Amino acid sequence: MLHTKRSILAFMMALAILISSLATPSAARAYGGYPTFSITAVVADKTVTIQAYNFPANDSFTVRMGVYGTLGINGTVVATQTTGAGGSFTATYDIPSGLKGAYQIAIRLESPTSGYYAYNWFYNNTASVPPTSGTGGGYPYFNISAVVRNKTVTILAYNFPAKDSFTVRMGAYGTLGVGGTVVGTQDSGAGGSFTATYTIPAGLANADRIAIRLESAASGYYAYNWFYNNTYP
């Protein structure tokens, strides 16, 4: 009888563990990476449209806009964005009255629940950047596609101007890469999209997060992002 009771107890404990694991949302277990977004359209003093990538599923993000350089932290709340199935989506938000007339505006999406966030900025100008061969106009930007901790980071760049040369810098998180360590020079070639891998400098080894910046001394174009210094994907 004692053996039978122990068997029943063991079975009940195993069943409880199984139920507990099944109760964990599959999206939370499956999600990995970094949410990012790019600016796809601006109507001066009215709206900005973004294209989001790699967002977690079933999450809710507070959308804020603020003064350029603030990363949107504590900016004016302009919307709440639900992610639904996650991944990619397009959304348009109103520019708040307090930022009308601003030359550049920071925009940030942050989740008070999961802690995920992403930020970017845009020129508050319908004309924005003049067309450049190979890009069709707009802003150069890039996403992080892979990281080897303390060794390399790989980016996927979009909308870069043609025949330009960009200095690649890495620096402490929060600096936007300004004044960071030079890790390479990137030739944009025909412009548009490209993939490139850069070496993480020794001075940033073991840093939790790293800022990366591509900037052209000739044309003035630049783009920046950041990444966790953890092997990904």
- If you average pLDDT over residues 76-96, what whole number do you get? 94
Structure tokens at 154: 């790989």
DSSP per-residue codes, the chain: -HHHHHHHHHHHHHHHHHHHHHHS-HHHHH--S--EEEEEEEETTTEEEEEEEEEPTT-EEEEEEEETTTTTTT-EEEEEEE-TT-EEEEEEEEPPGGGTT-SEEEEEEE-TTT--EEEEEEES-TT-SPP-TTTTSS--EEEEEEEETTTEEEEEEEEEPSS-EEEEEEEETTTTTTT-EEEEEEE-TT-EEEEEEEEPPGGGTT-SEEEEEEE-TTT--EEEEEEESS-B-
228-to-3, 36, 59, 67, 149 alpha-carbon distances in Å: 52, 13, 21, 25, 9
The candidate with the shortest Cα–Cα distance to 137, out of 120, 158, 166, 163, is 158
Span between the terminal Cα atoms of the chain, in Å: 52
Q: 12: exposed, middle or buried (C-beta count within 10 Å: 0-12, 13-18, 19+)?
A: exposed
Share of the chain above pLDDT 90, in %: 46
What pLDDT digit, counting tens, does each position of 107-157 carry? 999 999 988 888 888 888 885 443 333 333 457 888 888 999 999 999 988
Q: What is the predicted pLDDT for the residue at 8?
A: 43
Share of the chain above pLDDT 70, in %: 81
**pTM higher than 0.75, yes or no?**
no
**Which domains does the chain possess?**
36-123 (2.60.40), 141-228 (2.60.40.10)
What pLDDT digit, counting tens, does each position of 10-23 carry? 444 444 433 333 33
Region of poorest pLDDT, from 11-20, 66-75, 77-86, 134-143: 11-20
The candidate with the shortest Cα–Cα distance to 72, out of 41, 93, 43, is 93
What pLDDT digit, counting tens, does each position of 168-224 carry? 999 999 888 989 999 999 999 888 889 999 999 999 999 999 999 999 988 888 888
